[in-house]
Amino acid sequence: MKRFNGIARCVTACAVLTVLWGATPAGVVTANEMPATDVVAAAAAHNIGVDSGKRVPTSAATGSIAPDVTVSVAATGSAATTPTAPAAAPILPTKLAADAKQLLFGKRGKSLTLKLTPTPASAETSTVVWKSSNKTVATVSGTGKVTARGWGQCTVSATVGDVSVKVPVTIAKKWVAVTWDDGPGKPTKKLLTQLRKRKVHCTFFVVGSMAKSKTKQKLLKQMKKDGHEIANHTWNHNGSAGALMAGLKKTDTVIKKAIGKKSTLMRPPGGAINSVTKRCGKAIIIWTVDPKDWRDRNANTVYKRVVTGTRSGSIVLLHDIHPTSVTGGIRAIDALAKKGYTFVTVTQLLGSPKKNKIYHSGAKTVRTAKLK
């Protein structure tokens, strides 16, 4: 009968007991403010060997097992108590990074999923909160899946604690790559400021001898920071068979010094192709639209020729050494933006340009992609 009563008390106690065991008859009973005899009964009810004659250590004040105390029941039936370790506080990230700098969609209804990388890597991200700045343009799920809903631009953000990351999202029908040659020149700083205000990304084909000074190196660093692409336009605008490779190599050294890596693209001076150009080891980028801004130094003329000649997938040639080219080019960018164009770098337009292949334009249809 005493045994029955002990088991009855165990049934009542089970609601507040957690019993864990490995190889029977040893085990562990976690008690929370209950009589020691109930703990012993609970152990027995779960086939954990215990000597009912042994007393389980109790609180002197209450005669019960103290809160958050683990009772270890050994195979011999002896018992001992140890405090349960408090749960460790989750590690929150100090920084969040997404696996894309921008999401680009060419069709509504398409989806891309963003992945987050926290710093430190062990930081908890299960509590992340995703938001879209404009749900009519794009929505985002709790797992970071972004779906294009309408034409336009918005921002998707991910927040964990006090840390967040934002990724621009563009859903566009048309795209274009605007390129700038022969610099950096005196107008380049102004040009970068205007592009930054518009959040427009371009590709700069720099001449090595123009980019080697400390001041020009700072401009290259700013280009990279602003999201522009930097490419190779030889050392001193000499694309002859005898000078091309040495010029590309010297210019790569200048580019790498500024931004930490060489260029994968080149543009031959004047667009001239020879036998050396075809095996230069870089993607060879020509153009679709040439407004002759190097010859006709008139901003309005440059503006009209760019807007008239541009189609989706075009590569536009301009020169950031002429003030008229910068003024006309910025006006053209504003006009094309109103027509629904989005602006991308050459590599973003082409996807994965191949070495020694010649490109004059990209695809007309906007590609759905994560832009790096």
User: What positions carry a catalytic annotation?
Assistant: 181, 319
Q: Spell 120-155 as b/e; 16+ CB within 10 A means b.
A: eeebebeebebebeeeebbbbeeebebbbbeeebbe
Name 79's bridge partners: 73
Report how far residue 280's alpha carbon sits from residue 357's, in angstroms, rounded to the nearest whole number. 10
Report how far residue 306's alpha carbon sits from residue 310's, in angstroms, rounded to the nearest whole number. 6
C-alpha 288 chain-centroid distance: 31
Sort 89 into a burial class: Cβ within 10 Å, 0-12 / 13-18 / 19+: exposed
Q: Which SS3 state, helix, strand or coil, does residue 337 take?
A: helix
Report how far residue 263's alpha carbon sits from residue 242's, in angstroms, rounded to the nearest whole number. 21
Report how far residue 146's alpha carbon sits from residue 244's, in angstroms, rounded to the nearest whole number. 45
Report how far residue 344's alpha carbon sits from residue 350's, in angstroms, rounded to the nearest whole number. 10
Residue 158, number of CB atoms within 10 A of its CB: 22
Cis, bond preceding 25 (omega within 30 deg of 0)? yes
